Amino acid sequence: MTTHHDNDEELAAAAALNALDAASAAAATARRENDPAFDALVRGHEDTVLALAESVEPVEPPASMRANLLALIAETPQRPAPEAAPAIAEDPAQAEAPALPEATAPRRPRTPRVASGRRYLVGTLAVFAAAAIFVGGLVLGQIRSAPEANFDGTVASLLASADLERRSEPVSGGGAATVVWSPTTGQAAIAVDGLPALDAQRVYELWFIDGTGPASAGTFTATGTAGADWVLLDGTMKAGDVIAVTVEPADGDGTPTTDPILVVES
Amino acid sequence: MEITPADLLRQIAGGDRGAFADLYDRFAARVLGLVRRVLVDPAQSEEVTQEVFLEVWQGASGFDSERGSASAWLFTLAHRRAVDRVRSSVAARGRDERIGIRDQEVAFDSVAEAAETRVEHTRVARALGKLSPPQRECLVLAYYAGFSHTEIAAHLSEPLGTIKSRIRDALIRLREELGVIP
């Protein structure tokens, strides 16, 4: 006999209906990965929610959609199976994949999408792969426009970690980000590229989100120009944490007030 | 032997474009129907549906038949994308109008074209009819209007805690009425 806290039942029902706000949804997704009992609660609603979906009247799409999609997939690379994803090495064939037309590119992904993020960060990713192996001045100097102050010794040693994990994502509102972390040390850093500059009253704020909620991991500003800027996250990342970025008042109180523009699941 | 949607997703994950076309032919109208129920706007709905199928192509390897059915995976993806879009600022126009449309549709929906859908529609409509009106309203706002629970609380001027427990009760009740074994 298992019992569940009322809050878990409520969280599971809202998660099954996609009725959680973005930050809570990210936390719930992370929790499902690590808490089989909670995952079972959400999955217990699967058939009910599926019935809601399947009871809706179908709408025949125009024939052009089928033709568009068949043309698109012919040149769109697929993501490898999760367990088969290479930790460092990039497949050169995928890195050279053609960019998708903007109109059909996914807009607000909630799951890591290494493949589609790649087109924004091809140059940066190539440098990651190299930097992880050769932490030397020559290679580090190749990072596009990266101010030296941003690429300090801590980030360099993190990039050299043998167990380095990495996710690349487009950012809602423009730009792209790559998050790297070491599961062993719990250190994490983010490279942002092309994020819009904010007015003086607002900053970008980083968050570690776990089953209990968000914890601030520091703030940063962006110049609005192309080129990777590095920021080391404050605090230690735990297994299953979600990393998120929101736009917050510069004098914020350490709780998120807007929907994340980036959500990366570890 | 019949090729199941799960088989198709596995073939798609292996790069099989024929399997992708087959899956599209089986599900596109139902995916567009669901997306359009949430988004209402026809052009945006087609755009999101195309995104959904492109995501199916790119991410089919993420489907795990141990963790649920292929149709649940696909409709969850489609619903999530539609909800993401409806909560973004561009689609937020005329939200009250969309709620009005949706309330009517649930109560008085015209006869669906596909017999399969008609049966499912009747079954679900009957089960929804067993819920209390406030429970039904919460479920409809959450699933078919894409409201988050905080948006529902604001819309109905009720405490968030009340809405959270009402959504839970409504979904559990609906599951019982549908005779689904959790």
**pLDDT tens-digit map of B107-127:** 334 444 456 667 778 889 899
Partner-chain contact A43 B68, CB within 8 Å: yes
Residue A193 CB partners (closer than 8 Å, separation 6+): A120, A121, A124, A175, A176, A177, A178, A226, A227, A228, A229
- Residue B14: DSSP 8-state: T
pLDDT band at A232 (very low <50, low <70, confident <90, very high): confident
Q: Would the pLDDT of A175 be above 90? A: no
Query: Best interface-test mutation with B: which of A24, A55, A167 has the largest number of B CBs within 10 A?
Result: A55
Closest CA relative to residue A54, chosen from B2, B46, B37: B37
pLDDT, tens digit, 9 for 90 and up, residues A52-65 = 999 998 999 999 99
Q: Among A138-142, A240-244, B76-80, which stretch is predicted with the lowest mean pLDDT? A: A138-142
> Closest Cα of chain B to A252: distance in Å?
21
Which of A45, A81, A100 faces B171 most closely, judged by CB atoms? A45
Contact pairs from chain A to chain B, CB under 8 Å: 209
Pairing outcome for strands A202-210 and A188-193: unpaired
Q: Which of A6, A46, A66 sits opposite B68 (nearest CB)?
A: A46
Which of A24, A39, A45, A57 to probe by mutation at the B interface, max B CB count within 10 Å?
A57
Whether residues B121 and A55 touch (CB distance < 8 A) is answered with yes
Q: How far apart are CA A116 and CA A95, in angstroms?
A: 10
Please check the confidence at residue B104 and state whether its pLDDT lies above 90: no
Query: A137 to chain B, minimum CA–CA distance in Å?
Result: 37
A217 — phi, psi (to 5°)? -120, 25
Query: Which chain B residues are within 8 Å of A20, Cβ to Cβ?
Result: 148-149
Nearest Cα residue to A30 out of A207, A205, A203, A234: A207
What's the mean per-residue pLDDT of chain A?
72
Residue A138: pLDDT band with limits 50, 70, 90: very low
The more confidently predicted of residues B1 and B148 is B148
- DSSP alpha helices (H): ranges in B40-159? 42-59, 70-87, 95-108, 115-129, 133-139, 149-156
Residue B46 to residue A61, Cβ atoms within 8 A: yes
DSSP three-state, residue B96: helix
B27: nearest Cα among A69, A45, A13, A15: A69
Is B143 within 8 Å of A113 when comparing Cβ atoms? no
Buried b (16+ CB within 10 A) or exposed e, A66-104: bebbbebbeebbbbbeeeeeeeeeeeeebbebeebeeeb
Determine, for residues B120 and A16 on separate chains, whether the beta-carbon distance falls below 8 Å: no
Whether this model's ipTM surpasses 0.85 comes out as: yes
pLDDT of residue A92: 41
B171: closest CA among A132, A14, A21, A251? A14
Q: Which of B58, B113, B167 is nearest residue A76 as measured by Cβ atoms?
A: B58
**Alpha-carbon dihedral B90, B145, B81, B50, rounded to 10 degrees:** -80
Facing B150 at nearest CB: one of A13, A16, A21:
A21
Chain A touched by B176 (CB under 8 Å): no
**Lowest-pLDDT range of A80-89, A201-210, B65-74:** A80-89
The pTM for the full model equals 0.59
Question: Chain A within 8 Å of B60 (Cβ-Cβ)?
Answer: yes
Residue (of A61, A88, A1) closest to A37 by Cα position = A1
What stretch of H or E contains B12? helix B5-13
Does the beta-carbon distance from A81 to B59 stay under 8 Å? no
Encoded amino acid at B67, one letter: R
